[in-house]
Amino acid sequence: MQESDTIQPLTWHEHIYRGENRLRVALVGQHNSGKSTIFHAVASTSYRTGKLTGTHKPYAECPVQIGADEVHLVDLPDLQSLRDLQGDDLEALKYLLWGDARPLISRHERSEPPAPFSRPDVLVYVIDASSLQQSLELALELPELGLPVVIALNMMDEAHRKGVEIDKDLLSEKLGVPVIPTVALKGHGLTELFQQILKTGRKPVCPLPQPASPHIQAWAKKLHEAIDQPEINEAFAMPGSMLTMNLLEKDAYFLSEFESHFPETLPAIRALHSEADKTLPRPLTDEVHADRHHRSVVLFEDVARLVHKPKISWEDRLDMLFLHPSWGLIGSLSVFAAVLFMVFEVSTALDAMSAARLADMVSGWQPDTATGVIGRAVVDGLIGLIGIVVPYMLPLVLMLVALEESGIMHRIAFVVDRFFHAIGLHGKVAVPFLLGLGCNVPAIAATKGLSSGRDRVVSSLLITFVPCSARSAIVLALGAKYLGVMGVFLLFTLSLLVIAILGRLLSHRYPEISPGMIQEIPAYGWPKMQPLLSSTWSRTRDILTIVTPLLVGGSVILALLQFAGADQIINTALAPVTVWALGLPAVLGVPILFGVLRKELSLVMIYQALGTFEVGQVLDSIQITTFLVFLLFYIPCVSTFAVMLKVIGRKEAFFSIALSIGVALIVALITRFFLTGMHGLT
Ligand SMILES: Nc1nc2c(ncn2[C@@H]2O[C@H](COP(=O)(O)OP(=O)(O)OP(=O)(O)O)[C@@H](O)[C@H]2O)c(=O)[nH]1
Ligand SMILES: [Mg+2]
């Protein structure tokens, strides 16, 4: 995600909703209209659930960040109507009316208020656009609650498929509320929806209740006059027009409360009911129902029309691939395959043409003076740099930027969001994780685009466990030869497992839950050359300045150590790890240490240290597995460390080193003892 996408222009004279000041927004609507889908599309990784007092159906609640503002979003159980409700539905209505307070008429019911939080500031009425007609009756009723309403005209894709065309502007004008079309399942329209919610919250205007037909209005007016008394208004603490309509429709709950609290007024109401029943062509309740139904049908006919053969655009077709709840995974997997192809075909070829060729050219230079050794080490460091930048960083960052510019990346992030939620992260980290398969350096750099500091740290820490192409190369070279396809597969599965477990553990270390976010789904577009190149350059430029000195410096130090004959010392110093813990020959100490420069160096050095290309003659399969497991997880290379210093700071970068060494040791030890145990059994 580009920074420009997350930063909203701020106007400071406007009220900012944050912390305790958050706007409370409730999602209401009929069963299966998409309330929970909207909620989960923007929810944070962890949200609160509970039950409204005396109900069985759960609500969910969490803060959501919208630019500089935050709202408290509440996903409520379904609500079919405001009239004649019973059981859970009635309790939901009580929450909408009274929030965390009990008015006089409801004090006797239970000690706890309807909900532990206040009544909403803004109502979002989620409508299934593909069956608009059924939703319009409630749309006519909702304004009676006296709350600002925004309509989310959801399932527009379904409506389109069924050939239902809706004039949303006319609908908005007729109902007096803003109407935003959405496809919650694909994240379309959610940004606009939440911007509108904020706008409505800032200038709250409650829509006027839709007037009933004149013959009903006349009775409503009479009834209103009978009950319009200050003590009644105070006791019910609800808009007078709603109480009037509820009593007119003989709503059981409100009538019974009226009976127990204002028995002296009840006879007047009853008299009015029977008079109306006699005068009107049908009983009053039926007449009011029929009138509302009629008005909703007229409204539907005004705003909607059926078209035959709806046109499906190529964007819709692409969205089926990228945003469909199950097909969408195929789209993401194909991008995953493209990244792998990039790494194993393009990057390897580029590497062979650039860094590998340069390394070949200098391989004959074997200096025997300290200055020569330093010179050679500097050259090695620079070649290492070219080996990271040319084959991996530039193509991968270029690909990342192209994915962002085309709008594909936002879709992948949207689809895989719920998987990442399981390890406490947001879907936006998906693409950095993918890039990590090529090289951890651009992957960690890409986490800079995440707006939450906590997510940046946690995903950077986890990305170091994604096997980059250098590590995969060693696993493939040694594993495929000595452990077989199954062995290699298990090693990669182990990486996935370690990342998942660590993700959960790290959630405890960084318990702060970042608020939910709206994932913007921009329109598709061809990436343009100029922004593509400049964006790629601006992302690689500052990494270069920080990676270069560390890579060259590290290379010089290690070369000097080797020149001074410190190999022996290094091997002895590392013996507790190599020999005691991992059960490997001491000579593997140097390759392990040098691996921090660039992991593929390890492979060459393993051959040198063991004195043979036939590793299987020196190490048994348990040793090879243990060694590979250790190599997979231990310290990220020095370039990764450098980029971490820049992205997550020194403290976390050092923590990452400690974490990777710790994890590598623990997992390698477990592997070793597990395999030895298995071996003993057979
Ligand atoms: N095609 C399509 N399906 C959607 C859309 N939004 C939600 N759905 C699907 O509609 C179904 C119901 O969605 P939910 O979000 O569970 O509906 P709800 O309003 O929370 O339902 P209740 O909690 O039972 O009231 C799910 O299968 C969603 O995947 C949409 O925009 N388009
Ligand atoms: Mg739901």
Minimum-distance ligand 1 atom for the alpha carbon of 78 = 25
* Mutate which of 27, 37, 78 for ligand 1 pocket (most atoms within 8 A of beta carbon): 37
Closest CA to 541 of 389, 396, 354, 379: 389
Mean pLDDT by 10 residues, the chain (682 residues): 46 68 92 94 85 87 88 92 88 90 79 84 95 92 93 93 91 95 92 94 85 89 90 90 91 90 90 90 89 92 84 83 80 78 78 82 83 86 79 79 85 81 80 80 84 85 88 80 85 91 87 73 87 83 74 80 83 90 89 73 73 83 92 84 90 94 94 89 72
The Å distance, Cα 243 to ligand 2 centre, comes to 28
Dihedral angle over CA of 33, 37, 41, 43, nearest 10: 110
Residue 30: nearest ligand to its CA?
A: 1
Rounded Cα–Cα distance for residues 226 and 125 (Å) = 32
Q: What is the pLDDT of residue 542?
A: 65
Residue type, 449: G
- Ligand 1 atom closest to Cα of 27? 19
Partners of 431 in the beta sheet? none
Task: Tell me the best of 36, 130, 415 to mutate to test the pocket of ligand 1, counting ligand atoms within 8 Å of each CB and taking the most.
Answer: 36
Q: What is the DSSP string of 332-382?
A: HHHHHHHHHHIIIIIIHHHHHHTHHHHHHHHTT----SHHHHHHHHHHHHH
Distance 48 CA to ligand 1 centre (A): 20
Could you give the ipTM of this predicted complex?
0.98
Intrachain domains 3-209 and 214-306 with the same fold: no
Residue boundaries of the structural domains of the chain: 3-209, 214-306, 319-680
pLDDT score at 209: 82
Nearest bound ligand to CA 33?
1
| C-alpha to C-alpha distance for 447 and 426, rounded to whole angstroms | 11
Residues whose CB falls within 8 Å of the CB of residue 469, separated by 6 or more in sequence, listed in order? 343, 344, 347, 348, 392, 437, 438, 439
> Which residues keep their CB under 5 angstroms from ion ligand 2?
35-36
Q: How far is the CA of 77 from the centre of ligand 2 (A)?
A: 6
Which residues fall within 8 angstroms of residue 153, CB to CB, at 6 or more apart? Answer: 127, 129, 132, 166, 168, 171, 179, 180, 181, 182
Q: Which atom of ligand 1 is nearest to the CA of 183?
A: 31
Number of other CB atoms surrounding residue 286 within 10 Å: 13
pLDDT for residue 599: 61
Q: Rounded mean pLDDT of the chain?
A: 85
Ligand 1 surroundings by CB, under 6 angstroms: 29, 31-37, 78, 154-155, 157-158, 183-185
Structure tokens at 200: 């409505």
- How far does Cα 429 stand from its chain's mean position? 8
Instruction: Give me ligand 2 centre to Cα 28, in Å.
Output: 9
Measured in Å, residue 197 CA sits from the centre of ligand 2 at 20
Instruction: Give the pLDDT confidence of 180-228 residue by residue, as tens digits.
Output: 999 998 889 999 999 999 999 988 888 888 888 888 899 999 999 988 8
Q: What is the pLDDT of residue 463?
A: 93
C-alpha to C-alpha distance for 159 and 316, rounded to whole angstroms: 13
Residue 598 has a pLDDT of 64
Give the Cα separation of 96 and 76 in Å (integer): 10
Digit-coded pLDDT (tens) for 289-327 = 899 999 999 999 999 988 876 777 888 888 888 888 777
- Give the per-residue pLDDT at 3: 41
DSSP state of 175: H
Angle at 215 between CA 210 and CA 220, to 5 degrees: 60
The residue count for the chain? 682
3-class DSSP state of 619: coil
Binding residues for Mg(2+): 41
CATH 3.30.70.20 fits 214-306, yes or no: no
Nearest-angstrom CA–CA distance, 425 and 499: 12
Domain 3-209: CATH class, spelled out = alpha beta
What is the rounded distance in angstroms from the CA atom of residue 444 to the CA atom of residue 644?
7
How far, in Å, from the CA of 184 to the mean position of ligand 1?
A: 8
Res 481: pLDDT: 80
Pairing of strands 48-51, 58-66: antiparallel
Ligand with smallest separation from the Cα of 153: 1
**Coil, strand or helix: which one is 74?**
strand
Binding residues for GTP: 29-36, 154-157
Which residue minimizes the CA distance to atom 29 of ligand 1?
185
- Are the CB atoms for 425 and 458 separated by under 8 Å? yes
Between CA 97 and CA 118 the distance in angstroms is: 10
CA of 325 to the centre of ligand 2 (A): 17
DSSP assignment, residue 154? E
